[in-house]
């Protein structure tokens, strides 16, 4: 385990889950009649089938949106204890039972889902006692959102305890990003409950088809986006491999922008965007002759101008792709300097998009920490000196401070940040 905050977080989640378990154990909540037992087995298998079949986008909000249509009915039909049990066991993902996956994280995931279901069930009971009809789309929606909210609060607390988020990060944006598909999930859950109650077991066959169809629709969407990015990424990798000195550059810069971005309070919605931009930032170099890109000696003014055209070339190359609209400004401005002496537009300070300022810093950091034709990689002390020297001139001073803090706290060990 990493540090104290994280240990406290994990222990708290374990204790809450254990508390709920003891609270319900031995009460009539844990009693199952044969039909309910059948339902426990059926819903658990259905959930496992979904979890194991969901490869694209798993680990993100996708997995929870796909499993939610079963989790809600499980809570509805089986009550908090068994609903929680079905959800915790049914959401095991293939990567979580691979060798090397930490057992304590496996238990942590189960505990968080168990807790989310139990807390949502209190909310359900409160609404039903308040005179709402048992099957009511709004109640189901409320349960769906409550489940998501509780889950998100825990995830957020976990990320925060793990110091991946800075305190300035916005929880509302984080939760919204992960809640986008709850509406569809809720609708599927309502249909599930209604069909089950009117048609009992034969209805389950229809539900199987329905839930799988829902999964396929969601997966198809993610597959489409993923394969699109894969094409672009391999396209961008061509640039890295052209030059032995910059091999892996885009990948490393993508990691740095994510780390710096999180600490700078960039919202989780904007993180994937800046990561994609980092992977593509030098794509404009594809249009520049290798003889210039790889020239060991001094460049002529004309050659230097050609190199300097790569941010604009990159923007031009990608501008017709609608899906990448958000990335254009980041790519165009990644060589601007904080003092306005950069290119292509000579923008200054806050006029440079925030993400472009992060990218520019990460890009330069990777240059410092890798060997180049003209010099060896700098060591940590030299990098820190260079960052101090360029803070406020080349780089945004606030972002530079963040990176310096990260380095001083050994965020990157010598093998990760420094290419040997």
Residue whose CB is less far from Fe ion, 63 or 281: 281
CA-based nearest residue to 350, from 359, 360, 340: 340
Q: At what angle do helices 380-390 and 354-368 cross, to 10 degrees?
A: 140
Residue whose CB is less far from Fe ion, 259 or 336: 336
Which structure tokens are listed for 178?
């992960």
Residue whose CB is less far from Fe ion, 282 or 396: 282
Instruction: Return d(Cα 338, Cα 347) in angstroms, integer.
Output: 8
Give me the least distance between CB of 79 and Fe ion, in Å please. 58
Burial class from Cβ neighbours inside 10 Å (0-12, 13-18, 19+) for residue 339 reads: middle
Residue in the shown chain whose Cβ atom is closest to Fe ion: 282
Give me the least distance between CB of 10 and Fe ion, in Å please. 41
Residue whose CB is less far from Fe ion, 282 or 315: 282
Q: What is the DSSP letter of 81?
A: H
Give me the least distance between CB of 330 and Fe ion, in Å please. 11
Contact 323, 359 (CB under 8 A): no
Instruction: Return d(Cα 215, Cα 65) in angstroms, integer.
Output: 9
Contact 226, 56 (CB under 8 A): yes
20 sits in which H/E element: helix 4-24
Residue whose CB is less far from Fe ion, 9 or 338: 338
β-strand partners of 391: 395
CA-based nearest residue to 408, from 385, 391, 389: 385
Give me the least distance between CB of 311 and Fe ion, in Å please. 6
Residue whose CB is less far from Fe ion, 258 or 282: 282
Instruction: Return d(Cα 302, Cα 294) in angstroms, integer.
Output: 15
Give me the least distance between CB of 392 and Fe ion, in Å please. 21
CA-based nearest residue to 114, from 25, 7, 247: 25
| Residue carrying the six token digits 């066991």 | 89
Residue whose CB is less far from Fe ion, 54 or 370: 370
Give me the least distance between CB of 314 and Fe ion, in Å please. 8
Residues that bind Fe ion (CB under 5 A): 282
Give me the least distance between CB of 326 and Fe ion, in Å please. 18
Residue whose CB is less far from Fe ion, 263 or 285: 285
Contact 406, 412 (CB under 8 A): yes
Half-sphere exposure of 148 toward its Cβ, with a 13 Å CA cutoff?
30
């Amino acid at each position: 385990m990493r540090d104290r905050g994280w240990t406290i977080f994990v222990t708290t989640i374990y204790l809450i889950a254990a508390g709920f378990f003891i609270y319900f154990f031995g009460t009539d909540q844990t009693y199952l009649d044969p039909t309910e037992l059948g339902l426990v087995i059926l819903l658990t298998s259905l959930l496992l089938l979904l979890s194991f079949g969901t490869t694209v986008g798993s680990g993100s909000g996708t997995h929870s949106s796909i499993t939610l249509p079963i989790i809600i009915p499980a809570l509805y039909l089986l009550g908090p204890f068994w609903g929680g049990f079905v959800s915790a066991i049914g959401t095991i993902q293939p990567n979580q039972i691979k060798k090397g996956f930490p057992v304590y994280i496996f238990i942590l995931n189960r505990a968080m889902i168990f807790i989310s279901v139990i807390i949502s069930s209190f909310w359900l009971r409160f609404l039903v006692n308040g005179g709402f009809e048992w099957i009511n789309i709004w109640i189901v929606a409320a349960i769906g959102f409550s489940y998501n909210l509780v889950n998100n609060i825990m995830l957020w607390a976990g990320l925060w305890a793990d110091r991946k988020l800075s305190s300035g990060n916005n929880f509302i944006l984080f939760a919204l990003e992960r809640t986008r598909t709850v509406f569809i999930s809720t609708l599927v859950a309502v249909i599930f409950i209604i069909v089950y109650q009117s048609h009992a077991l034969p209805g389950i066959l229809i539900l199987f088809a329905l839930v799988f169809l829902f999964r396929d629709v969601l997966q198809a969407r993610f597959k489409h986006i993923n394969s699109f990015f894969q094409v672009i990424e391999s396209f961008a990798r061509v640039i890295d491999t052209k030059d032995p000195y910059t091999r892996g550059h885009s990948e490393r810069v993508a990691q740095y922008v994510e780390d710096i971005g999180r600490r700078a309070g960039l919202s989780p919605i904007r993180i994937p965007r800046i990561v994609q931009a980092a992977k593509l930032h030098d794509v404009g170099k594809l249009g520049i002759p290798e003889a210039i890109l790889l020239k060991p000696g001094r460049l002529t003014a004309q050659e230097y101008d050609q190199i300097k055209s790569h941010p604009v070339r990159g923007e031009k190359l990608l501008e017709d792709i609608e899906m990448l609209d958000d990335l254009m400004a980041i790519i165009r401005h990644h060589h601007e300097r904080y003092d306005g002496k950069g290119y292509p537009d000579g923008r200054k300070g806050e006029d440079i998009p925030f993400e472009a300022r992060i990218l520019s810093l990460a890009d330069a950091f990777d240059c410092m920490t890798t060997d180049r034709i003209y010099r060896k990689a700098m060591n940590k002390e030299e990098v820190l000196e260079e960052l101090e020297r360029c803070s406020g001139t080349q780089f945004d001073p606030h972002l530079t401070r963040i990176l310096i803090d990260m380095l001083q706290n050994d965020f990157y060990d010598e093998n990760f940040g420094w290419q040997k």
